[in-house]
Amino acid sequence: MTQNVSASILIEGLTLAYGAHRVLDGLSLRVPEASITALLGGNGAGKSTTLAALLGFVRAQGGTITVAGVDPGADPDAARRRIAYLPENVALYEHLTAVENADYLLALSDERKDRRVITEALAAAGLQERAWDQRLGGFSKGMRQKVAIAVALLREVPVLLLDEPTSGLDPRATADFNALVCAVRDRGTAVLMVTHDLLSAADVADRIGFLEAGRIVEEVEASGPERFDVRALHARFAIATERLPA
């Protein structure tokens, strides 16, 4: 990834500790606009804390962090207006339909869309038409995830954060989701996904970073028709998870 491309996410030397436990230890990460970066690491590597720092939920003790030019520690509301965020465990309204959930959540962000645009997004996310006007109380985890994906992708913002986005999705839905994320990248959005799904990351990412003990220890860029050596990535990921404390 060329360094002269504007970075929508820029983290330099970030440190954050809870008591004596240093969760982020000099983390540096650059996600250019119109690109997808996948961040891989085992439990406890610092993935969730990185997302929390970008969203302004935690404030680092050292280093710098900007989201589309905004410091989320200094102005979290302004940073969040520039971010669409898809958490692993999606909080949606059980008594509302899929369309109503999307309409309400977009209204909260002052980004109202008409029904046609919403249903097109639900269809693109892989939710079948018969479910569009059903209440979410009877939805599976995968169906809920598809609604949340549609909402996140309808947000017209410079940064998309994804936390284990393919969790609960079957292979067909994962493939549909990957195509959507690539389309979002192609419209200029910077995408950062944290995941354990190595194959999905290899399918869509322009760059994969390995996070260990709160810092990026290796980055690999996609190249050639095969993009990544998946076997080598798997071996590298296995080493990273083995190094984590029990």
Instruction: Show me where the domains of the chain are located.
Output: 1-82+160-170+185-246, 89-156
The CATH number of 1-82+160-170+185-246 is: 3.40.50.300
| CA 42 from centroid of its chain's CA atoms | 16
Tokens for 126, please give them: 């892989």
Using one digit for the tens of pLDDT, what is the confidence trace for 121-172? 999 888 999 999 999 999 988 888 889 888 888 888 999 999 998 887 788 8
Task: List Cβ neighbours of 126 (8 Å cut-off, separation of 6 or more).
Answer: 146, 172, 173, 176, 177
Which residues are registered as beta bridge partners of 191?
36, 160
In this structure, the number of other CB atoms found within 10 A of the CB of residue 100 comes to 16
Which of 48-57, 94-103, 232-241 bottoms out in mean pLDDT, i.e. has the lowest? 232-241
Q: Supply φ then ψ for residue 76, to 5 degrees.
A: -60, -35
CA distance 37 to 190: 8
pLDDT the model gives residue 207: 96
Using one digit for the tens of pLDDT, what is the confidence trace for 184-231? 899 899 999 999 888 889 999 999 999 999 999 999 999 988 899 989
pTM score of the predicted model = 0.88
Please answer whether residues 48 and 63 qualify as being in contact, where contact means their C-beta atoms are separated by less than 8 angstroms: no
pLDDT the model gives residue 110: 84
